[in-house]
Amino acid sequence: MNLVVQTESEKRMKMQPVKGTRDFYPPQMAVRNFIVDGWKASSIRNGFVEYDGPIFEYLQMYQVKSGDEIVEQLFNFTDRGNRHLAIRPEITPTLARMINKQINALPMPIKWFSVPRLCRAERPQKGRLREFFQWNIDIIGIEDVLADAEVICCSLDYLRNTGLTSKDVVAKISSRRLLAALLKNIGIAEEKLESLYPILDKKTKIPVEAFVEMLEKEIDSPETIQAILKLMDIHSVNDIPDIVKLDEKAQESLDELKRVFAYLEKMGAEDWCRFDMSIVRGLAYYTGMVFEIHDKSGDLRAICGGGRYDNLLSDFGGPKVTATGMGMGDAVLEILLREKGLLTDDSLDIQKLDYFVACVDGDLFDEAVEITTKIRQKGYAANFSYKTNALKKQMKIADSMNAAKCIIVGGELKESGQLVIKDMATGEQILVDATTFLE
């Protein structure tokens, strides 16, 4: 029997990141920071405060709402204490757990945001990775649709700030409550709804024949299927009463949805928003307004999605407290920003130094190090050259580090205690007294 021995080159082959994860070299890290910093700024502007949870939780946390099927999509493991744990695929269960735990101490309403790192054990695809970052905002404790409108507006506020316009993206808005009422009005039984949502959610993602085929598995009556197709094609709230006869509950839900749009108008977001019956969201979780923001070309997955989920806290063992929120991942967003030219490989500074200290006289090298340290202690970002080679070469390094100014340590320091300060943008050079400058 031969032993299988790994060769050095086989070992090296394994020294790869795991498929679907990313290495953030400084240029990629700059992109991630650009996105995350923008998310944080929008959250703070819109009055949200930051929270976070652990990267792993009890596996059971993720089974509460999604059952055992979710386990397949999780990176799950068992620790030495035989606890069944999983890396978080979303942060909402953590949010529910945390809020329930301090429900009596936390003043309502709660406006929280987070930018969790999340992992899903999926096959990597365009805009869908096994490890990603997701901006989450949630408003807990406000029953009025004002909070729903605020969540949509905050998402759009971020996108507007990246340079995207209402020509690029659209918030498609509907209501789970309205959809449920309408489906019941066309004769669908209450208990059918939950299994229908994931199918209806697929409407715009698959050919119509495939969609009808999926419906036929759930619904016997061809007339009902026709009614559903008609329903899913409505593109204005005002058309609804012409297509379905509304009962009181449906009328109430419709009025509520109209109020969402009225608030969005007050918030100056009407150009960015439109009603879209085909927005269903897959999860059983949602109870009211649902929305997704899409690129208008329609080539990409949703940029973000969310809605009202009034039962989640109670599903996690807490009291019944209303909630609404959304999540926006970094992968689709980055693709879109690049497509629109709002993010290019050289639009971000990887580094930005206030000073680069160049030393052109080996005898003065220690002084150059000392000067750099003093400048850093004054709060400026500074680097020095590790070699006292030709000034031209050092200037090139200074440029590569995006230095605003260069301090040249040379003969002037020896002769008259002076430093040359070169402005890297204008090329202008001035002489300063070293002692005064570093004071």
Question: The tokens of 79 are what?
Answer: 């620790």
Please say which residue, 131 or 310, places its beta carbon nearer to a second copy. Answer: 131
Footprint of a second copy on 376-395 (CB under 8 A): 376-377, 379-383, 386
> Which candidate, 333, 331, 314, places its Cα nearest to that of 323?
314
71 touches a second copy (CB under 8 A): no
Q: Give the range of 204-212, 278-286, 349-357, 416-424 binding a second copy by CB under 8 A.
A: 349-357
Q: Bridge-partner residues for 383, per DSSP? A: 356
**273 scored as a contact of a second copy (CB under 8 A):** no
Cβ contact 409:364 at 8 Å = yes
SS3 300: coil
Which residue in the block uniquely carries the two structure tokens 């020896």? 414
Q: Is the CA virtual torsion 82, 87, 88, 94 positive or negative?
A: positive
Examine residue 266 and tell whether it contacts a second copy (CB under 8 A).
Answer: yes
- Which of 37, 50, 428, 433 is the binder for a second copy (CB under 8 A)? 50
The single residue among 241, 282, 317, 417 that binds a second copy, judged by CB under 8 A, is 317
User: Would you state the structure tokens that stand for residue 408, as one six-digit string?
Assistant: 């040249």
Cβ-based nearer residue to a second copy, 192 or 259: 259
CB of 224 closer than 8 Å to CB of 187:
yes
CB 297 within 8 A of CB 278: no
Cα 154 from Cα 170, distance rounded (Å): 14
The residues that bridge with 78 in the sheet, in sequence order, are 84
Residues 285, 279: Cα–Cα separation, whole Å? 14
Query: Which of 31, 85, 182, 289 is the binder for a second copy (CB under 8 A)?
Result: 85
Which listed range, 26-34, 188-196, 321-329, 427-435, lies at the site for a second copy (CB under 8 A)? 26-34
User: Angle at CA 95, nearest 5°, toward 317 and 258?
Assistant: 95
**284 binds a second copy, rule: CB under 8 A:** no
- Among 54, 163, 187, 362, the residue binding a second copy under the rule CB under 8 A is 54
Residue 400 touching a second copy (CB under 8 A)? yes
CB 322 within 8 A of CB 308: yes
> Which of 125, 226, 236, 351: binder of a second copy (CB under 8 A)?
351
* Subset of 175-214 contacting a second copy (CB under 8 A): none
Query: Which residues in 106-165 contact a second copy (CB under 8 A)?
Result: 107, 109, 111-112, 117, 119, 121, 131, 142, 144, 146-147, 153, 157, 160
Q: Which stretch binds a second copy (CB under 8 A): 81-89, 212-220, 287-295, 324-332?
A: 81-89
- Is 61 one of the binding residues for a second copy (CB under 8 A)? yes
User: How many chain residues are in contact with a second copy, going by CB under 8 A?
Assistant: 88
Smallest distance, Å, CB 378 to a second copy?
Answer: 9
Q: Where are the alpha helices (DSSP H) in 162-247?
A: 176-185, 193-200, 208-218, 222-232, 240-243
Look-up of token digits 């200290």: 357
Determine the interface stretch with a second copy among 57-65, 182-190, 193-201, 219-227 (rule: CB under 8 A). 57-65
| H or E element in which residue 206 lies | none
- Interface stretch with a second copy, choices 98-106, 181-189, 334-342, 420-428 (CB under 8 A): 98-106
